Amino acid sequence: MNNRTCAVLLLAAVLAAGCAITQTVKPVTVAGITDLCIKRNSRVMMSSFLPELTSQIEKKGIHTTVYDGERPASCKYSLDYTANWHWDLAMYLVFAEINVYDSGLLVGQATYDAHAGGGRPDKFGPTADKLRGLLDQLFARS
């Protein structure tokens, strides 16, 4: 392999790696979740995020209850989340993380990270669609 080929391959690798949107999902490992308590995150500025999250989970047949502060003792299964958006001519979801717990132990996690995806057009699009992709995988086994 000559130097020019090496340079082209390296540039291609750099460009590909530099335009990545990563979605990492570790599906919930416990089955039979029927009730889920969701901890409200007041630092998530998009007010429609929590209603969308609860709505999509409810559509999976899981009853949700939103709480603030400490997890109520009656909540065996709980969920917390965070989400951030960036502006690039339009708002787009740049990071989201959803954690599911069984009695306080982390049993499932979904992460969407577009921090390195600045050059990709698919960074745009409804947050609801991106959330659906995460939740479908997160609750695939439960």
Partner 1 sequence: MTPATYMVSQDTKSALAKYQGAKLMFADLSGPAAFDPMCRAVGKISVADGMTIGQFVAKGFNDELKFAGLYAADRVKLTGTVTKAAFSSSAAVVNGYWDLAITLQSINGQSMSVESHHDFEAGFIGASACNNTSRALGPAVQQLVQKTVNDPRFAALIR
Residues contributing to the site for partner 1 (CB under 8 A): 13-14, 17-18, 20, 22, 26, 29, 97, 99, 102-103, 105-109, 111, 113, 115-116
CB of 41 to partner 1, least distance (A): 15
Q: Which is nearer to partner 1, 95 or 128 (CB)?
A: 95
Contacts of 33 (CB under 8 A, 6+ apart): 62, 77, 139, 142
Toward partner 1, which CB reaches closer, 1 or 47? 1
What is the phi-psi region of residue 131: left when phi exceeds 0, alpha when psi lies from -120 to 50, beta otherwise? alpha
Q: How far apart are CB 23 and partner 1 at their closest, in Å?
A: 12
- The distance of closest approach from Cβ of residue 43 to partner 1 in the complex, given in angstroms and rounded to an integer, is 15
Asked whether the beta carbons of 65 and 37 are under 8 A apart, the reply is yes
Closest CA to 83 of 101, 105, 71, 98: 98
Q: Which is nearer to partner 1, 28 or 50 (CB)?
A: 28
* Residue 137 CB-density burial (10 A; 0-12 exposed, 13-18 middle, 19+ buried): middle
Of the two residues 99 and 127, which places its CB atom closer to partner 1 in the complex?
Answer: 99
Min dist. Cβ of residue 55 to partner 1 (A): 26
Q: Are 23 and 99 in contact (CB under 8 A)?
A: no
